[in-house]
Chains A and B, each alone.
Chain A
Amino acid sequence: MRPPPAMTAARAAPTLAAAALALLWAGAGAAQELPVREVAPGVFVHEGAHEETAPGNGGDIANIGFVVGEDAVAVIDTGGSPAIGRRLRAAVESRTRKPVRYVVNTHMHPDHVFGNGAFPEAELVGHANLADALARRLETYKARLAEELGPEAAAGIGAPEVDVAVADRLRLDLGGRALEIQAFPTAHTNNDVTVLDPATGTLFTGDLLFVERVPAVDGSALGWLRAMDALAAQPAARVVPGHGPTLEGWPASLAAQRRYLDSLVTEVRQALKAGRGLSETVERAATAEGLGWALFETYHPRNVTAVYAELEWE
């Protein structure tokens, strides 16, 4: 996607144009800067809440961030609403005047992509399956967001045009710093990518890793367990999960999620072996507790449903 004329002008006269832009964005909605933390030099992360999208959080429920190179910025996920996207943009602009060259969507889920519209000048980078997967769900996601936050919150969200589709691996040059994008076979979803910043050893896992918040299976549990083996091989010093705090110590920080997915698969295999139907298996699962995951009661029954349908073909 070509930058609109105003952005070309912005490069010619940075100070003035940046000020004008700031005014424009303020006018487009309350673009109050989203708080971000610099987890490594030039790597900024905003941590979303362990909640479902609700008026109190405005869709700010996933981790999003950005990496600043010598020439340009890459934004990694954009938040759960256009308003969160605008606030992320305000955070970028308060840290650097370099242009946002890329937006990477780690996968199709609305809490990660609905802020994309705040970065019209950037090239959108995502998994080769991203556009199709999101197109199949967009109307449902928009309707949900309208229910959760009101119709105006979902206004203007359209189908994304993925400019750079990643089927395997890709390097994104930011000037003196290149990010490595890796696409995965079906795991959390059928369109997961990770973003590695080799300069600092920071790995953005997207939702291939959940910390504290219960993992949600919207692809394949078995595929996800396999993806975690590949993930563990990534040379990272710290990881920014899709949800939960940034962690040092890799790949030990994968252990809790592996335990959860392993036990989920075991639980469903036992039910299938015992001839228990889907409804009964879900009902029993819904009463399980004590694993200490946030939102367990909301997502565990759904996970059991999805994994049941996956494993009955074994």
Chain B
Amino acid sequence: MSGDPSSIRYRRGAAPFGALLLLTAAGAAAADPVEDERWELLRATYFADRAIEDAGQLLGLEAPKRAQDAAIVPLKVLLSPELRAKKLTLIVDDNPVPLAAAIDLGEASAPGALETRVRVNEYTNVRAVAETEDGRLLMTSRYIKAAGGCSAPALKDPAQSLARMGKMKMNLPDRIPAGSPVTAQLLISHPNNSGLQFDQVSRFFIPPHYIRSVSVSYNGKPVLEMTTDISISEDPNFQFSFVPEADGMLEVRAVDTKDKVFTESWPVKVAPAS
């Protein structure tokens, strides 16, 4: 018997995350050079050489200072009407796939709050970048400390997630006034499997399986067109605002990486504007 006993008992799993992760330094401060360097790389990847301005009061981002549950970290973006945003990008810098969602805001959408939940692997900056109708990019960011101890950005119950896959739920207020912004919450049951973990039995990486796009429309007019990735939590959850001019149908179409299409619609009955 020789060497470290643990090396006998255990075999080393292959590193489950992409090479990008190597750039991160756990516990690094928000303005630390490593974080800055990483953002430079991400900025060049996602926005090429376009200028990005500080959004100031036009764009708000609410996130907990410390992630409670690393698998479910709420992010809320506040879009002011003056911003006239047509597109929103959410980025979690230190995640294996930093681009969480790219969201086109359609003609039936309303400015206001847009909320979702993300996985957070490490201490990380999170960012919202808005593109205005006249083509400017404005950004706001927050720093999130990772959850401690046994909290991990992993599925709690993969079997249940798979069994419930594709089920959707829409929460709407009881009274919906015509022509005014309404806040809706969409839940889509899906494991949103990152696919990064190593399968001990097959000795292969489990292929990713996640929702890659979500479209929301009202009476045929687009509300949101989202491209989403594995930084979005299991059972993807989106809160958004839209303006129903009249009675109609709120429709959702989601597609996952196995090209499975999930659709559902909800009738909306508006109350006369007061």
- Would A111 and B13 count as touching, CB distance under 8 A? no
Restricting to B36-61, which residues have a CB under 8 Å from any CB of A? Answer: none
A218-B72 Cα distance, complex, nearest whole Å: 12
Cβ of A157 < 8 Å from any Cβ of B? yes
Restricting to A148-164, which residues have a CB under 8 Å from any CB of B? Answer: 155-162
Contacts of A158 in B (CB 8 A): 6-7, 10-13
Contacts of A282 in B (CB 8 A): 64, 68
Can you name the residue of chain A whose Cβ is closest to the Cβ of B235? Answer: A309
- Would B152 and A140 count as touching, CB distance under 8 A? yes
Contacts of A180 in B (CB 8 A): none
Chain A binding site: helix, strand, loop or mixed by DSSP? Answer: helix
Cβ of A138 < 8 Å from any Cβ of B? yes
Can you name the residue of chain B whose Cβ is closest to the Cβ of A299? Answer: B149
C-beta contact mask, B126-165 vs A, less than 8 Å → 1, else 0?
0000000000000000000011111111111111100010
Contacts of B179 in A (CB 8 A): none
Contacts of B7 in A (CB 8 A): 117, 156, 158
- Would A140 and B121 count as touching, CB distance under 8 A? yes
Can you name the residue of chain A whose Cβ is closest to the Cβ of B173? Answer: A275
Cβ of B190 < 8 Å from any Cβ of A? no
Cβ of B201 < 8 Å from any Cβ of A? yes
- Would A302 and B197 count as touching, CB distance under 8 A? no
How many B residues are at the interface, by size bracket? 35 or more
Distance in angstroms from B245 CB to nearest chain A CB is 24
- Would A277 and B115 count as touching, CB distance under 8 A? yes
A202-B175 Cα distance, complex, nearest whole Å: 57
Contacts of A133 in B (CB 8 A): 154
Cβ of B9 < 8 Å from any Cβ of A? yes
Distance in angstroms from B232 CB to nearest chain A CB is 13
Cβ of A147 < 8 Å from any Cβ of B? yes
C-beta contact mask, B213-230 vs A, less than 8 Å → 1, else 0?
000000000000000000
| Residue in A119, A144, A161 whose CB lies within 8 Å of B200 | A161
Can you name the residue of chain B whose Cβ is closest to the Cβ of A85? Answer: B6
Distance in angstroms from B168 CB to nearest chain A CB is 11
Can you name the residue of chain A whose Cβ is closest to the Cβ of B155? Answer: A136
Cβ of A57 < 8 Å from any Cβ of B? no
- Would A190 and B159 count as touching, CB distance under 8 A? yes
Contacts of B159 in A (CB 8 A): 129, 186, 190
C-beta contact mask, B107-121 vs A, less than 8 Å → 1, else 0?
000000001010001
Can you name the residue of chain A whose Cβ is closest to the Cβ of B27? Answer: A147
Distance in angstroms from B29 CB to nearest chain A CB is 14
Restricting to A102-153, which residues have a CB under 8 Å from any CB of B? Answer: 109-111, 116-120, 129, 131-133, 135-141, 143-144, 146-147
Contacts of A298 in B (CB 8 A): 148-149
- Would A131 and B201 count as touching, CB distance under 8 A? yes
Can you name the residue of chain A whose Cβ is closest to the Cβ of B174? Answer: A275
Can you name the residue of chain A whose Cβ is closest to the Cβ of B8? Answer: A120
A137/B17 contact (C-beta < 8 A), A120-B5, A159-B10, A302-B68 known: no
Contacts of A143 in B (CB 8 A): 26, 122
- Would B9 and A120 count as touching, CB distance under 8 A? yes
How many A residues are at the interface, by size bracket? 35 or more
- Would B4 and A156 count as touching, CB distance under 8 A? yes
Contacts of B19 in A (CB 8 A): none
Restricting to A171-220, which residues have a CB under 8 Å from any CB of B? Answer: 186, 189-190, 216, 218-220
A159/B157 contact (C-beta < 8 A), A143-B26, A305-B68 known: no
- Would B148 and A313 count as touching, CB distance under 8 A? no
C-beta contact mask, B95-109 vs A, less than 8 Å → 1, else 0?
000000000000000
- Would B150 and A216 count as touching, CB distance under 8 A? yes
A220-B167 Cα distance, complex, nearest whole Å: 19
- Would B72 and A309 count as touching, CB distance under 8 A? yes
- Would B239 and A186 count as touching, CB distance under 8 A? no
Cβ of B16 < 8 Å from any Cβ of A? yes
Distance in angstroms from A105 CB to nearest chain B CB is 12
- Would B157 and A313 count as touching, CB distance under 8 A? no
**A-B contact sample (12 more), CB < 8 A, given A135-B197, A186-B157:** A110-B150, A120-B5, A139-B13, A140-B121, A143-B122, A157-B10, A282-B68, A305-B72, A306-B71, A309-B237, A312-B187, A313-B167
Can you list 28 pairs linking A and B with CB atoms under 8 Å apart? A25-B5, A28-B4, A53-B149, A117-B8, A117-B9, A129-B159, A131-B201, A136-B155, A138-B16, A139-B17, A140-B152, A144-B146, A156-B7, A162-B200, A186-B156, A220-B160, A277-B115, A279-B62, A302-B68, A302-B147, A304-B68, A305-B68, A306-B69, A309-B233, A309-B237, A313-B167, A313-B189, A313-B235
